[in-house]
Amino acid sequence: MKLIGFKICPYVQRVVIVLHEKGIRHTLEYIDPYGKRPADFHHISPLGKVPVLDIGNDQHLFESAVILEYLDEIKKPPFLPTPPPARARHRSWIVYASSVQALLARLVTVRDEHLFIETQAAIRDHLARVESELRAGPLFSGEHFSLVDAVFAPVLVTIDFLESVHRFGFLKNLDKTSRWRETLLARPSVRTAIHNEYRDLMIEFVHRQKGCLDARLNSSASGTRQAAKGASGTT
């Protein structure tokens, strides 16, 4: 199998996580998110998005949720529960993870200050709802890794990055979610899914958006430079 995607795409990360958790042999092909797509890209990805999974015989799967269920069906153990009610509940939380990821993407790209603040509040509300759903842990379904873990891991990776560049405090007072984050980010599959250039590429992506978060990064960098000048006695 060959997975095609971008180095910082959270939807690609979730597929990489499941490929590693299931021990499925694969290769990765990263394409330039800012450049021209390969000639056949819109043929293999009708929506023009990543990830795309090449499963051989000129067959390609698109949409990460569909790819994850395909991988879950072809290689045991299953990461979705068998009973229909539990299975449906997990699918619902997979969709919910995508809604949180979309809010995080808006936070990075938005240029309107009011919407920037509003988005932060929406993210906190969504994470509080996740907190109320989590049980004993350490994973979403206790001891067993699930597709819900796979899709929330990139959400928490994104939050980790955002907190490293600005103090949002998204996980403040969310003890169960914080413990879940620690458990997921320590898993080899999740660490493997984070490209070694991830942080630098994310910062580049933020700067390219020229939004409210970029303005805060620039302000912070300027403040750091001024402090350094003051400490050295220069102006």
**Is the separation of the CB atoms in 150 and 68 below 8 Å?**
yes
The reported pLDDT for the residue numbered 219 is 86
Q: Is the dihedral of CA 218, 223, 227, 229 positive or negative?
A: positive
For domain 84-193, give the CATH number. 1.20.1050.10
Q: Is the dihedral of CA 121, 181, 143, 27 positive or negative?
A: positive
Q: Is the dihedral of CA 77, 83, 88, 93 positive or negative?
A: negative
**Does the pLDDT value for residue 228 go beyond 50?**
no
The reported pLDDT for the residue numbered 131 is 98
The percentage of the chain sitting over the pLDDT mark of 70, rounded to a whole number, equals 94
Which burial class, exposed, middle or buried, applies to 41 when counting CB atoms under 10 A from its CB (0-12, 13-18, 19+)?
middle
**Does the pLDDT value for residue 235 go beyond 50?**
no
Arithmetic mean of pLDDT, 10-35: 97
Mind listing the pLDDT tens digit for each residue in 50-77?
A: 999 999 999 999 999 999 999 999 999 9
**Does the pLDDT value for residue 227 go beyond 60?**
no
Per domain, the residue ranges of the chain are: 2-74, 84-193
DSSP letter assigned to residue 143: T
Model pTM score: 0.93
Matching CATH number, 2-74, of 3.60.21.10, 3.40.30.10, 3.40.50.2000, 3.50.50.60: 3.40.30.10
The reported pLDDT for the residue numbered 233 is 53
Report residue 220's pLDDT band, with 50, 70 and 90 as the boundaries. Answer: confident
**Does the pLDDT value for residue 96 go beyond 90?**
yes
Question: What is the chain's mean pLDDT, rounded?
Answer: 94
